[in-house]
Chain A
């Protein structure tokens, strides 16, 4: 029995539609979230993440409706996030159909939010998203969509987040995000080895070799990608075949 490595497509949305863009600029439409969710569910995605990257208060009802529509298409776990600042925000997202909640900036600003979420929903439902930029001598945690420094060391923040009750780390390399030059293997390996919980690697995926590398050398438990799946550059099924042939344990839907 082996716990398989997970392939996790991510839907970045403006609340209603899946959008695509680098560093939150030049966003363009990449499809309907429910339609993409249904496709990934059928293709063998192991989980799905849906994010509200606009995260504006007045569009919240729209995003909750998006979660409901996406959840209805899935027979796999769904993680939702973007703009979750309070326990009540999280409850709304869970009621709409998310199995896990991901928090990022709000967790840095009020770390006790992690504990509150963990107590209410269980550690397995709390995904701490950490955006990291490589600086000289350390890995700097970034907040507000990667724009600002949190003045925290990524290794220490990851460990603190787990101690507070996070059950999983969603680790994004700000340097690699959008570059399609591969995951940050050294960063992922360092974080994965320093925490007791699973780590989802994110940022930079394009080629099947990038996924092989992050599982084989980066100690990632799961790997996330968005645009390579959305525009069909890479099918999930053929990616898993590639990985299986090279000895990475993956799941094929029956």
Chain B
């Protein structure tokens, strides 16, 4: 099994690539529709601005093959902005349509705390999580974001809090996403990535 990394030009693809190599998972970059349509496992990394990611996906005509792959059950992991892109829209770019795989809107974290929410935080498991299998409950994960998906989003399996509670992990069927960066989260992150890849095997 080879993980197809969606390389839209606005992501930290190299970091994710290195993390997959460390856990012994094969990966290939894809920046055109066909390899994404044919993927066995899909991973959407993303950092930066919501608009940059959505525009890059549309300019490269990756939205349709991505949605088709997700709809036919290909295991999918979105990281950080890759989680936010799954929703219908984001306050960061209110006029742009997100992928709409999940209902709801991404919004800004409150300005009562320092933003970006940058650094290591723990998470609260809401219900059994396949991504967190064997991951110690008090593990820290690395976050770097100012916008977040609502904690009440139906498919959230874990939340985090920084000014407000928000979705830290999302799992629904073949769709997985993390607001934190597992590829930068030490051993706990590596275990989570291994869980994702082995789910798909």
Contact = CB atoms under 8 A, between A and B. Distances in A.
Do A and B assemble together? yes
Interface of A: 1-4, 6, 41, 46, 71-72, 75-77, 95, 97, 99, 119-125, 167-168, 196-198, 221-222, 251, 253-254
Nearest to B141: A251
14 contacts: A1-B123, A3-B117, A3-B120, A3-B143, A6-B119, A75-B22, A75-B190, A97-B15, A122-B47, A124-B48, A197-B118, A198-B114, A198-B119, A254-B187
Contacts of A41: 186
A3 to B, nearest CB: 5
B162 interface: yes
User: Taking chain B's interface residues, is the majority helix, strand, or loop, or is none over half, making it mixed?
Assistant: mixed
A229 B117 CA distance: 26
Contacts of B123: 1
Contact of A120 (B19, B48, B120): B48
Given A1-B161, A198-B118, A97 B14 contact: yes
Contacts of A124: 47-48, 116, 118, 144-146
Interface residues of B, number: 42
A120 B22 CA distance: 28
Interface centre among B19, B120, B142, B145 (most CB of A within 10 A): B120
A251 B185 contact: no
A167 B114 CA distance: 10
B184 A99 contact: yes
Interface string B6-33: 0000001011001100100000000000
B47 A75 contact: no
B140 A4 contact: yes
Contacts of B145: 124
Contacts of B183: 75
B195 interface: no
A40 to B, nearest CB: 12
B124 interface: yes
Given A3-B162, A75-B184, A124-B144, 10 more contacts: A3-B121, A71-B14, A71-B15, A75-B187, A76-B186, A97-B14, A97-B18, A123-B146, A124-B48, A196-B111
